[in-house]
């Protein structure tokens, strides 16, 4: 299993879908490289959107974008904020070598 963690650590700023999607693509590429060597594993992105102010957290539209990309790339995605927990699991059927 490969896990990438992205946390909102910036004052007066929020996580952007672009930076998270870039990491999702990196996880997908890493998994594909391992597959070329006849092995396999699952990839997971964990987003910790910990800003106490809702205006500093990811927007609903941004969350929808990252979940769509995670599903398309078959990367597990866990989004955690002070009042939400959203999950996109990976598909075992798509993990065949």
Q: Quick: pLDDT tens for 49-73.
A: 988 888 888 999 999 999 999 999 9
**Which pLDDT score is estimated for 93?**
66
**Which pLDDT score is estimated for 92?**
66
For 37, the domain range is 2-95
Instruction: Provide the domain count of the chain.
Output: 1
**Which pLDDT score is estimated for 77?**
96
Token pair for 8: 């909102």
Residue among 13, 82, 11, 5 at smallest CA distance from 45: 5
Express each pLDDT in 16-48 by its tens digit: 899 999 999 999 999 988 888 888 788 999 999
pTM, two decimal places = 0.85
**Which pLDDT score is estimated for 8?**
83
């Amino acid at each position: 299993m490969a896990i990438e963690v992205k946390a909102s650590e910036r004052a007066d700023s929020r996580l952007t879908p672009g930076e998270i999607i870039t990491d999702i693509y990196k996880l997908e590429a890493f998994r594909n490289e391992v597959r070329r060597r006849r092995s396999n594993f699952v990839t997971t992105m964990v987003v910790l959107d910990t800003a106490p102010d809702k205006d500093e957290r990811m927007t609903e539209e941004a969350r929808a974008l990252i979940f769509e990309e995670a599903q398309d790339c078959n990367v597990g995605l866990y989004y955690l904020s002070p009042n939400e927990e959203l999950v996109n699991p990976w598909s075992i059927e798509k993990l065949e070598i």
